[in-house]
Amino acid sequence: MALMIIVLLSTLFYLRRRRQIRKEEEYLLDLMTSEDANNVSELQTGNNGRNLNIYTAALIMSATNGFSPDNLLGKGGFGPVFKGALDDGQEVAIKRLSSGSSQGLVEFKNELILIAKLQHTNLVRLLGFCVQGEEKMLVYEYMPNKSLDTFIFDDSKRKLLNWDKRFSIIEGIAQGLLYLHKYSRLRIIHRDLKLSNILLDENMNPKISDFGLARIYKTSEAGSNTNRIVGTYGYMSPEYAMEGIFSEKSDVYSFGVMVLEVVSGRKNSSHFEFDRPLNL
């Protein structure tokens, strides 16, 4: 009798959890496809993700010295990234959405909504965000050693990474990817894994970054396809680059390309021969 009660309660708990996951997936998909950028503030509190700080534009202006060019870390499709220092002295990296960028707005929401759900030692940590007027910014922990490509593709810096350290970096990336695909609250496909999106902390530990192109992978889905191919050629799997078909295997392919680059120290050719048959 006791065993039957335990089995019944376990089954009810499992079914309830499955319903919660499905509702969460639908909620996030609706939020990500909404045209209202300001609805991202819903993620600051409650059960939609871990608590995030909401920063004012004035505070970020002060932290970056008015977005001084001296603090510019780099630029991407989303917009420029600046180094900043908060009032308590904490160093941060600030992604600022380029004004008038509709695609950047999509990536801003996508990144904020997804990263708010994630927490792993090998994923870059989002501290908070700013949505104020035309200003839309994401605030991350600062990675002093920048991205992995600055080491691997530089003849002098590459020598700083011995084989043990390279293996440790590869293992860390794999752990972060496994978390995204299997152990996070929602299964996520990154879709833009490359060395420039692997950041290194002060101890050269890798952290996967840039989730602007990531997609939630429903537990009921075995794969998906899209007419809009995004990402970086050379890291894309052939079926995704040519036919728009993506799944967890797409990220695994990108991971394999990164491993070859880390081991060889050479950049991939970023070239596909579209006139050749895709399938063997």
Active site residues: 192
Q: What is the CA angle 269-273-278, rounded to 5? A: 120
Query: How far is 83 from 86, CA to CA, in rounded Å?
Result: 10
Q: Which pair of tokens denotes residue 106?
A: 């999509």
Burial 207-227 (b: 16+ CB within 10 A, else e): bbbbbbbbbbbeeeeeeeeee
Contact predicate 15/7, CB 8 Å: no
Query: How far is 249 from 27, CA to CA, in rounded Å?
Result: 25
Residue 58 burial class via C-beta count within 10 angstroms: exposed 0-12, middle 13-18, buried 19 and up = exposed
Query: How far is 28 from 111, CA to CA, in rounded Å?
Result: 12
Instruction: Please list the alpha-helical segments (H only) found in 129-247.
Output: 149-152, 163-178, 238-243
Q: Which pair of tokens denotes residue 9?
A: 């309660």
In the 8-state DSSP scheme, what is residue 252? H
Residue type, 253: Y
